[in-house]
Amino acid sequence: MSSYIAHRLFAIVALAFGISLLVFLILRLIPGDPVISMLGMNAGDQALVIRLRHQLGLDQPLYMQYVTWLTDLFRGDFGYSYGEDRPVAMLLAANFPATVQLMILSLALSTLFGLLLGIIAAVNRNRMLDTATMSVALALMSIPSFWLGLLLILTFAVTLPWFEVVGGTSLKGTILPALTLALGAIGYNARFVRSAVIGAMAQQHVITARAKGLSRLRVFMRHVLRNALLPILTIVGLQIGGLLSGTVIVETVFSRPGIGRLLVQSILAKDYPAVQAVILIIALAYATTNFIVDMLYPVLDPRIGHR
């Protein structure tokens, strides 16, 4: 068990290193100069451009820039934002709670309604209700989140002024962004839960329990749902990454604070330190979540062990 944990932790560290290097190099390939973006109308002063590039360390070789950034990162220093003129750590601290709030509500909605639709479809397999439920799930998966967000704003914030239009971080202002982020995941979860529940219902011990005369509800809760929980847990863990990437679009559409919107603004401003920090945080959150899910497997099913 300890060797497995050590192996997974090493894999997370290796992933973080690979992501940091890849993002660092890709950012330098994007056309444009952050110094020119920062100076604006003063970019015509070559002496000022050269001096600022030197102050930011952008005149150094790429490998030196990466080593310097990585060394500062190990000390807990994410660098200084070019666009916001303050430490990147302050930007992350200011925006991360709003994204966590959005993620928690979206994950709760997608898991709850995905489970409900998937179970309804599985119990009514090959019936009209199954077909209707899976059609709804497929439709939810197919709707682009940016279009859905604009449609929800138009319907429930403009035509029917029930919610805040943009920028809200209160519960009332979070419902529409969370719903936009969760609807696609609801469809995906419903289809996956349906398959997992149907597979569990076909197990021999479930058929035996039914033959013994146990009620359908008891068989379902004690045998079917318990055996279907592991694959469902897997997809919920993987969904964290999808929701994190979805915040980039949703927070931008709703003009809502968060690391997704911060990432978009930082890319447009050529803010290298902020972009590198946000992407690294997202990658680590995704890897850590899946590590936690793997550690929960033996807790839910003692037959599973990590070696």
**225 part of a folded domain:** yes
**145 part of a folded domain:** yes
Distance between CA 49 and CA 181 in Å, rounded?
42
State the pTM of this model. Answer: 0.81
**221 part of a folded domain:** yes
**292 part of a folded domain:** no
**113 part of a folded domain:** yes
19: CB partners within 8 A, 6+ apart: 279, 280, 283
What CATH number should be reported for the domain holding residue 246? 1.10.3720.10
Query: Where in the sequence is the domain holding 151, given as residue range(s)?
Result: 99-262
pLDDT at position 164 over 80: no
What's the pLDDT tens digit per position in 174-228?
Answer: 888 988 888 888 888 888 888 888 887 777 777 777 777 767 777 777 667 777 7
Distance between CA 241 and CA 215 in Å, rounded?
39
What's the pLDDT tens digit per position in 83-136?
Answer: 787 889 999 998 888 898 898 899 889 888 988 888 888 888 888 988 999 898
**23 part of a folded domain:** no
How many structural domains compose the chain? 1
**15 part of a folded domain:** no
**208 part of a folded domain:** yes
